[in-house]
Amino acid sequence: MTSPTISARTPQTGGLARVGRIAAQSALLAGVWFAADALVRAAHLPVPGGVVGLVLLLALLFCGGVTPRWVKAGADWLLSDMLLFFIPAAVAAVQYGGLFRADGWRLALVVVGGTLMVMVAVAFAVEQAARLERRLALRRVRDSRHSRHVARA
């Protein structure tokens, strides 16, 4: 009679490892933001450190300096709990009720206008990426047909 194999990885150990991975990946993302923010402050750039950090992270992902699996769990956690990060901003907004009463329409116009600009920019970027993807797929099909045709000749 054989005994069942006992796994060395218990649910508690797996959960602890997952929490550690999420913490490490979140720290990596925060480190990229911190480095980008320091760069923006040192170079006196007119863009937020978060934007530079996103561009830096995108460049690292494209060049292979960071693989998606190194940041996926941390990014998923940050995105799933993003609403919690806006609570301080909402509380601060309540403290400036007079500002909203005096200039609320201007603030609303800026928020709506900015949102529309972001939506248009994202739509444009997605459309361009889809066109590039279609061109690359078409090129792959042409190359495979050409190589089959050359191989037959």
Q: What is the pLDDT along the chain (153 residues), one digit of tens a residue?
A: 444 444 444 445 567 888 888 888 888 888 888 999 999 999 998 988 888 988 988 888 889 888 888 888 888 888 887 777 767 666 777 777 787 788 888 888 998 999 999 999 999 999 999 999 999 999 999 988 888 777 776
Residue 53 contacts residue 33 (beta carbons within 8 Å): yes
- Per-residue model confidence (pLDDT) at position 10: 44
Query: What is d(CA 133, CA 137) in angstroms, rounded to the nearest whole number?
Result: 6
Provide the whole-model pTM: 0.47
Query: What is d(CA 126, CA 136) in angstroms, rounded to the nearest whole number?
Result: 15
- Per-domain residue ranges for the chain? 12-85, 87-153
Query: What is d(CA 123, CA 151) in angstroms, rounded to the nearest whole number?
Result: 42
Tokens, residue 58: 């995108």
Q: What is the DSSP letter of 2?
A: P
Cβ neighbours around 13 below 10 Å, total: 11
